[in-house]
Amino acid sequence: MKQGLQLSVGQSLTLSPQLQQAIKLLQLSTLELRGEMLEQLYANPLLELPDDQQGGEGDLFEPASDDHQPAADSDDSALANSAESAAPPDSGALEFDHSADSRAEPSSLAAPAASAVDAADIFQVTETLRDHLAWQLNLTPFSDEDRLIAETLLDGLDDDGLLSSSLLSLTEHLHNPAQELGEEEVEAVLHRLQQFDPPGVFARSLNESLRLQLLPLATGDAAVDCALQLVDGDLAKLVNTDPGLLASQLAVPAEQVRAALALIRSLNPHPGSSFSSAAVEHISPDLRVDRIAEQWVVRLNDQLLPALQINQLYADMIKRGDRSTDNQYLKDHLAEARWFLRSIESRNDTLLRVGEAIMARQSGFLERGAVGMVPLILADIAEPLELHESTVSRVTTNKYIATPRGVFELKYFFSSHVGTTGGGECSSTAVCAMLKSMIDSEQPNRPLSDSKLTALLADRGVAIARRTVAKYRESMNIPSSSQRKRF
């Protein structure tokens, strides 16, 4: 094969740095965009804050005040505050009450009104479960050998505070020919560690963890003694077995069994859940929708964003014919500042247009909840707005909207469709809402099977298969009918 050189002419699409910046800003959430704007404010001398926002260093971390809003916006701050407040998740079908062991963590630090807040002085120390147990371990008298065993068992804990492996596998590396490590010695150290706070830690199973939490309550109470007998058996039977049958098996009154079951449900199956090393992430909605004059109005929630503008003093210092280094420096930063502000304006405009289009299609959700959702895909929003589907995907990712029914991600309003008996279409989100409503209203001792749920949906005009019902049920973390059965 003969080698040679050739020239060819071709065209290729290349993203300019300005276009890359615009795409980056488009997919940022409000909090992320705020950080990007503050970074540009510090890096670009041609950007500045308005006179009413210039002040101490801590003023940048306060929401921007807006004195030019009409009277209809008087409740915007209340809506933003309620959307940002953290709410506990719906417990659903949980069998345990964790309220006794809940630990509240401060969500904000208040600063004196007389001085500005310095962000460098704000910090938060989060105590993990391992730190809490290590602190107790340092206060407990142990020999050198026992302390080594205790530290080894501490390293073997999972996030729930339970031992992830057997004692033999955890302490296998401590065995040596010169000194034999006895199983009784490891058991003795484990027994002392199981007295640590919170109750139930260092257990080898869920049954043992529940038993450790019941032992301090064993003061001759018949209900506690009955609960100890129940947790020593199969925990699954406590959910699916009639309390009367359990009472006959234990030869105790049925009321005593019911009191023991209520006591077991009050325990914490995850002792380490009250300690978390994960930082709490607060959601600030990017959009909000309100009912104004019998119409749903979508607006930007830009109260957290600083109002950047061009520094006119530096802009006037630029001379057209001057090619000095200082003048070129100001020119480059002026062009960069103008493009940055133009990109932010384009990002906000695109986000608002997409939000208005979604809410126009999902007005039934605002009126009736999830049952009123209609099928929606990216193309349904991209085509009327003359946008690409990838652009709509970037806009709706990690963006939230505050509605009268709560704060939702924009992706939540997109769902597939299922057929109806009348030949129409129904949103899969609406079907899930119907299923949850049916299951919530079922009789505890006679739960609805997947086949029965399929028949009930068919009566409402939704034609789906039983396996589809099972798939939707599992996606909502709802157990099967046999597991939901209660007596």
pLDDT at 421: 62
Interatomic CA distance for residues 453 and 478, integer angstroms: 13
pLDDT at 217: 85
pLDDT at 191: 93
249 located within any domain:
yes
Q: Are 178 and 212 in the same domain?
A: no
Q: Which of 138, 160, 193 is the last residue of a domain?
A: 193
Q: Which of 231, 258, 274 is the last residue of a domain?
A: 274
Quote the number of domains for the chain.
3
pLDDT at 97: 44
Interatomic CA distance for residues 461 and 424, integer angstroms: 9
pLDDT at 359: 93
Q: Are 422 and 471 in the same domain?
A: yes
222 located within any domain:
yes
pLDDT at 137: 92
Please classify residue 417 by burial: count the beta carbons closer than 10 Å to its beta carbon, then call 0-12 exposed, 13-18 middle and 19+ buried: middle
Q: What separation in angstroms does the CA of 7 have from each of 12, 13, 27?
A: 16, 20, 40
173 located within any domain:
yes
227 located within any domain:
yes
Q: Are 177 and 220 in the same domain?
A: no
Q: Using alpha carbons only, how large is the chain's radius of gyration in Å?
A: 31
Regions in the chain scoring below 70 on pLDDT: 1, 53-126, 175-181, 240, 276-280, 420-424, 487
238 located within any domain:
yes
pLDDT at 54: 65
Interatomic CA distance for residues 262 and 260, integer angstroms: 5
Dihedral sign of CA atoms 58, 64, 67, 72 in order:
negative
423 located within any domain:
yes
pLDDT at 348: 92
The CATH number of the domain holding residue 472 is: 1.10.10.60
Domain with 427 in it: 417-484
61 located within any domain:
no
End-to-end CA distance of the chain: 84
- Provide the whole-model pTM: 0.62
pLDDT at 181: 67
Q: Are 218 and 176 in the same domain?
A: no
305 located within any domain:
no
Q: Which of 162, 193, 224 is the last residue of a domain?
A: 193
pLDDT at 383: 93
